[in-house]
Amino acid sequence: MTSQTDLAAAAREHLPADVADTWLSLLRPGIRLTAADDGGGPAAGYLGGEPDLPDDLAWPVWEGHGPLSFIASVDCAALPRVVTEMGLPVDGRLLFFYFDGQYDDGEAMVFASDPESQAGARVVYVPAGRASAQRATPEGIEPYKRIRLASCAVSTTPSYDHPVLHDAFGTGFSQVAEPEHPLRRREFCSAISSGESPLHQLGGYACPVQGDVEYEVAQAALGGSVDWRDSALASEASRWLLLAQFDSDDNANMMWGDVGMLYWLIRPDDLAARRFDRAVFTWQCC
């Protein structure tokens, strides 16, 4: 379920009126990326294959480990107009790279909790008008299968313990303190579940495989020693936005751990200034 109309209907049916009003005010626009028809027409980007890179831009490498694998390219000018509201660029291209273990047979891994490993995940922004050409994949890694992507605007919902829910419903809102809160009841959760897969997305709320990814990134930003119940952690988590997520996808031969998901998060001021090199990566799997 990804339309605001459907989400509103579910909220009105399953939630008390005041809870529904507050929850609906928290919805965020996002852009869902799905496999495009092969019949032609402009695409919003692609998964896998070999990327178009400017001649003077080196293929991203994690020093001491090896080259990163190319994950996806997104043509910002081909995205829905909601990009303006989301703060994403209206033109140029965003490219995503990740050290996926091919080069060293999984010896090195990238974690939000290890700042030095962040060099193993990269977001590259290529401004509009900058000449580029297809770049061959470096030796030692195989490109993923190329899948053309279409895009559509969707409404996204905060996951069960997202920091915006704590802000909206008070510090007592937690799975322990309020396990039977209306937002956590099975009927409501089932009503708003889309069941869609794979879930490739730009912006909006992340779809966590485990706990909310904002807390993982916040824990790392605060030095990794903050108790999960500390209000400072929720405050820091609220400062991060989802930039992109890429799901495991059989069609592209992408599998992140055990049916996992890759996430890049960014602070709003860095997004506005196009400082995509400051995006932080994390991943989750079952």
Residues 107-137 have pLDDT tens digits of 999 999 899 999 999 999 999 999 999 999 9
Structure token pair of residue 201: 């997305």
pLDDT digits (tens, 9 = 90+) for 27-66: 999 999 999 976 555 789 999 999 999 999 999 999 999 9
Percentage of the chain with pLDDT > 90? 77
Model pLDDT, residue 174: 67
Rounded to two decimals, what is the model's pTM? 0.94
Residue 177, pLDDT score: 56
Instruction: Look at residue 73 and tell me whether its pLDDT is greater than 90.
Output: yes
Please, which pLDDT band fits residue 178 given cuts at 50, 70 and 90? low
The stretch 236-265 carries a mean pLDDT of: 96
User: Which DSSP letter does residue 138 get?
Assistant: P
Please state, rounded to an integer, the average pLDDT across all residues of the chain: 92
What residues contact residue 59 under an 8 Å CB cut-off, 6+ apart? Answer: 53, 67, 68, 135, 138
Q: Would you call 78 helix, strand, or coil by DSSP?
A: helix
Taking Cα atoms as reference points, which of 266, 274, 256, 271 lies closest to residue 109?
A: 256
pLDDT mean over 214-241: 88
User: What CA dihedral angle connects 222, 277, 113 and 199, to 10 degrees?
Assistant: 110
Amino acid letter at 107? E
Residues present in the chain in total:
286
If you average pLDDT over residues 153-165, what whole number do you get? 90
Run of H or E including 175: none
What is the C-alpha to C-alpha distance for residues 30 and 213, in angstroms, rounded to an integer? 16
CB 264 within 8 A of CB 88: no
Instruction: Give helix 17-25 / helix 4-14 axis angle, nearest 10°.
Output: 150
Q: Give 173's pLDDT tier (boundaries 50, 70, 90).
A: confident
Lookup: tokens for 39: 């019949």
pLDDT, residue 93, reads: 98
